[in-house]
Amino acid sequence: MKNENAARKIFKTVSNFFIFFLLAAFVTTCCIMLFVNALQDSIGREFTQEEITVAAKITMLNVILLSIGMAVIDYVRRKFTVERPVKRITEATAKMMQGDFNVRINSTAKFATDDSFNEIIDCFNTMASELSSVETLRTDFIANVSHEMKTPLSVMQNYGTLLQAPDLPEEKRIEYAKAITDASRRLADMMTNILKLNRLENQQIYPNLTTFDLGEQLCESLLGYESTWEKKNIEIETDIAEDVKVEADAELLSLVWNNLFSNAFKFTDEYGKVTLTLTADENWATVKITDTGCGMSAEVGAHIFEKFYQGDTSHATQGNGLGLALVKRVVDIMQGEIGVKSAVGVGTTFTVRIRRTTNGPEEAR
């Protein structure tokens, strides 16, 4: 194969040389004939055969030298402007075919180069980036699921074994069946959150920005937990500024409020209190969600936005440690800010700042 490629390359070089030779010979011959005819007319005499022979030899030598020069120039031009970028593209493609989706190609110099190669390179890099994101999503999903699904699967397996006892009392049967149902629901929620989080982390997400009333969205999200706060007799306090418009992705932002409200009600004991406030200035809308739950230490607070981290193990069966990681990623995509203040035994306050739209100074509060 190498000998065959080398032979083709030599044949191509020789062919290019003869092309340039014939072209240079034709152009030079025409020029010389015109020059000789004009010179004979101007000086009024005919050139001898010997003079023409010498001129022909010199012309032939010039043609050969011109052909060699043009062939070398064309070879160098093709080497740097065609063969080199093509080789880089084919080598990168070969690496991608072997599973290396992190390969990228640098743009070629624009001087004396067809810019079409840069268009191909840009498309290749975009394709490689998307394939790398998909591969990362797949490997992360497999790794995370294989690690986190062990606990709920073990619960389901153990209680399934207990349900097989022939003399099992009815109340135990109901208890074990409920445990299996809860474990399966937790497993399903975990998979859903992993998919959402990996998609947000590893793929280029372009928010679908719309302008909407943030106060209305917060109220709708809060009302979704009405049955929860009524069951636990939790006091609700709200202070929501009116007509606060924000320009954001409403669907993504709803994930933030749902996760924060879910945590607030989960960690707040009976007869506790959850407070929601919304304030705004010309540039930012600030949302604070406060609970009177168990709170957390500074050490725990430093890790709560990490995937699968659960500071309060007593509530581990009610979550999977992905909600706040999802919240943090969405807020980052929105170019917003999120912070947390908490004290053990006192409660926790999450503060989220989202950029807003303003129609004038009268909207600022």
Each residue's pLDDT tens digit, 8-46: 767 776 676 667 667 767 777 777 777 777 777 777 777
pLDDT of 83 strictly over 70: yes
The model's pLDDT over 47-78, given as tens digits with 9 standing for 90+, comes to: 777 877 777 777 777 777 777 777 778 778 77
Task: Give the C-alpha separation, 169 to 175, whole Å.
Answer: 10
User: Which has more pLDDT, 266 or 71?
Assistant: 266
Q: Return the pLDDT at 145.
A: 58
Residue 359's pLDDT band, with cuts at 50, 70 and 90, is: very low
Residue 259's pLDDT band, with cuts at 50, 70 and 90, is: confident
CA-to-CA separations, 88 to 6, 9, 80, 120, 287, in angstroms, rounded: 19, 18, 11, 11, 51
The model's pLDDT over 341-353, given as tens digits with 9 standing for 90+, comes to: 988 888 999 999 9
* 24-28, 195-199, 270-274, 321-325: least confident range: 195-199
Q: What is the mean pLDDT of the chain?
A: 78
Which range has highest mean pLDDT (113-122, 230-239, 251-260)? Answer: 230-239
Task: Express as a percent the part of the chain with pLDDT over 90.
Answer: 17
pLDDT of 305 strictly over 90: no
Residue 233's pLDDT band, with cuts at 50, 70 and 90, is: very high
Residue tagged 């000086």 (tokens): 43
pTM of the model: 0.49
Which range has highest mean pLDDT (9-13, 54-58, 86-90, 230-234)? Answer: 230-234
Residue 238's pLDDT band, with cuts at 50, 70 and 90, is: very high
Q: Return the pLDDT at 320.
A: 42
Q: Return the pLDDT at 186.
A: 73
Q: Return the pLDDT at 201.
A: 61
Q: Return the pLDDT at 276.
A: 95
Q: Return the pLDDT at 364.
A: 38
Q: Could you write out the three-class secondary structure of the chain?
A: CHHHHHHHHHHHHHHHHHHHHHHHHHHHHHHHHHHHHHHHHHHCCCCCHHHHHHHHHHHHHHHHHHHHHHHHHHHHHHHHHHHHHHHHHHHHHHHHHCCCCCCCCCCCCCCCCCCHHHHHHHHHHHHHHHHHHHHHHHHHHHHHHHHHCHHHHHHHHHHHHHHCCCCCCHHHHHHHHHHHHHHHHHHHHHHHHHHHHHHHHHCCCCCCCEEEEHHHHHHHHHHCCHHHHHHCCCEEEEEECCCCEEEECHHHHHHHHHHHHHHHHHHCCCCCEEEEEEEECCCEEEEEEEECCCCCCHHHHCCCCCCCCCCCHHHHHHCCCCHHHHHHHHHHHCCCEEEEEEECCCEEEEEEEEEECCCCHHHCC
Residue 110's pLDDT band, with cuts at 50, 70 and 90, is: low
User: Which has more pLDDT, 258 or 14?
Assistant: 258
pLDDT of 181 strictly over 50: yes
Beta strands 347-355 and 284-291 are antiparallel
Residue 362's pLDDT band, with cuts at 50, 70 and 90, is: very low
What is the torsional sign of CA 278, 214, 305, 233?
Answer: positive
Q: Return the pLDDT at 365.
A: 37
Average pLDDT over residues 137-164: 73
pLDDT of 168 strictly over 50: yes
